[in-house]
Structure formats: structure tokens, C-alpha cells
């Protein structure tokens, strides 16, 4: 029998990357249209700095088989759009009962989560914090600090990602905003459209 080859990877925390994983992608400001509440300010920022990197991911994807794992590192730049902190697009796993683990390597962020019935959880993450995202929770990382927010993640290789579930509801139920003194708070997303509970269960 031919066995898969074990691997090890070096994580460069200052650079916010994982070396040798074989996969890398970036999301630039121009790719984040429709994510922020203040569309006018976003349009101005995107026109001036369309190619500014909001976040980048380096990862290792050995297969898409159940029982295997995908692991990698995300580096998110600091910044905000009219007070709404930089964030990832967010997703539900395509196979919704797949969990995910995040380990904060540097910076300060929050994991914004939403269950199929609309319940929300917001967990703050700083260096050496582990965040567990249970099955069926939509999740999004947000950088609420003044420096890069760097996390290591790991999830089942057959999980897949459903990004459209957020778009169909015009975002997540909460937005993460800057407060006086460089703090953060959550506010209701005024344009949020509640999703059917079945949306998170149909893929289980």
C-alpha cells in the first residue's frame, strides 16, 4: 500500500505565512465589495487603493478526502472602512457539520459566528488563543487591532466553503465596529435578512 507522505511546515509569524504549503491566495480591497455597511466610503477607498491586501492565506491541501486535514495561516492587515474593521468574507462549510480550529499567532482579532437559527457569538483572540468553531456555525475573522492579525487554522479536507450564504442575507447579523480608544463593539446589521434555519442543516 502506498501511504501519503507526512509533512512539516515552517510558520513565519512576522510575515504571517506558512512556507511550503503549496497554495496561496490574497483578497484585496477591490475583492471585498458588498461586505461593508458604508458602500460610499468603500468605493472611495477601493478607487484609491484597489490592490491593497486585506488578507492573505497560505495553506496545505493534501486532498479533499474525508479524514484528511487542510491547514494553513491567514494574515489580515489592520484597517477599517468608515469604522468597520477589516474582515474576511466569512463562510459556512459546504458540508455544514465540519468544525474548524483557529490558533492566534499574533495580533488581536475576533471570531464572529452565527448559528442557523440566528444566534451569534463573538470571541476575542490574542496571541496563543485557540478558537473552536463548532459544526454548522457561519464564521468570519475580524482584525480589531493596530497590527497584523495572524492565525493558524485547521479543518477537515472535505469541508468546502459556502460564501454565498452570507451574501444572500446581506451579511452577517452583527458588524464589528471601532470605538473610541481603538476598542471594538458589535452593532446590528441594519440590512440583515434572516436566513432559514435549514440553510445550515441541508448540507449536513
For 169-202, write each residue's pLDDT tens digit: 999 999 999 998 889 999 999 999 998 765 555 4
pLDDT of 11-56, one tens digit each?
Answer: 999 999 999 888 999 999 999 999 999 999 999 999 999 999 999 9
| CA pair distance 7, 60, nearest whole angstrom | 10
Q: What is the reported pTM?
A: 0.93
User: How is residue 167 annotated by DSSP?
Assistant: H
Cα–Cα distance for residue pair 48/50, rounded to 1 Å = 6
Short-list 190, 191, 201, 142, CA closest to 168: 191
- Distance CA(107)–CA(143), nearest Å, equals 8
Strand 69-76 relative to strand 100-106: parallel, antiparallel, unpaired?
unpaired
Going by CATH, does the domain composed of 10-196 fall within 2.60.120.10? yes
Give the 3-state secondary structure of residue 82.
coil
Residue 158 Cα distances to 161, 167, 187, angstroms: 10, 22, 33
**Separation of alpha carbons 57 and 37, rounded Å:** 24
Distance, first Cα to last Cα, the chain: 32
Domains in the chain: boundaries: 10-196
Secondary structure (3-state) at 147: coil
Amino acid at each position: 500500500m502506498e501511504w501519503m507522505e507526512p509533512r512539516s511546515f515552517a510558520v513565519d509569524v512576522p510575515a504571517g505565512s506558512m512556507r511550503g504549503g503549496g497554495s496561496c491566495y490574497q483578497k484585496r480591497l477591490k475583492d471585498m465589495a458588498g461586505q461593508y455597511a458604508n458602500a460610499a466610503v468603500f468605493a472611495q477607498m477601493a478607487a484609491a487603493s484597489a490592490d491593497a491586501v486585506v488578507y492573505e492565506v497560505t495553506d496545505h491541501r493534501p486532498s479533499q478526502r474525508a479524514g484528511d486535514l487542510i491547514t494553513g495561516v491567514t494574515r489580515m492587515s489592520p484597517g477599517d472602512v468608515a469604522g468597520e474593521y477589516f474582515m474576511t468574507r466569512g463562510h459556512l462549510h459546504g458540508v455544514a457539520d465540519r468544525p474548524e480550529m483557529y490558533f492566534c499567532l499574533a495580533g488581536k482579532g475576533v471570531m464572529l459566528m452565527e448559528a442557523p437559527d440566528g444566534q451569534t457569538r463573538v470571541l476575542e483572540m490574542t496571541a496563543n488563543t485557540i478558537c473552536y468553531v463548532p459544526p454548522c456555525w457561519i464564521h468570519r475573522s475580524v482584525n480589531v487591532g493596530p497590527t497584523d492579525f495572524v492565525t493558524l487554522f485547521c479543518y477537515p479536507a472535505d469541508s468546502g466553503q459556502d460564501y454565498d450564504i452570507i451574501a444572500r442575507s446581506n451579511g452577517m447579523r452583527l458588524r464589528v465596529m471601532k470605538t473610541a480608544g481603538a476598542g471594538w463593539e458589535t452593532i446590528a446589521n441594519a440590512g440583515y435578512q434572516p436566513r432559514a434555519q435549514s440553510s445550515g442543516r441541508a448540507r449536513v
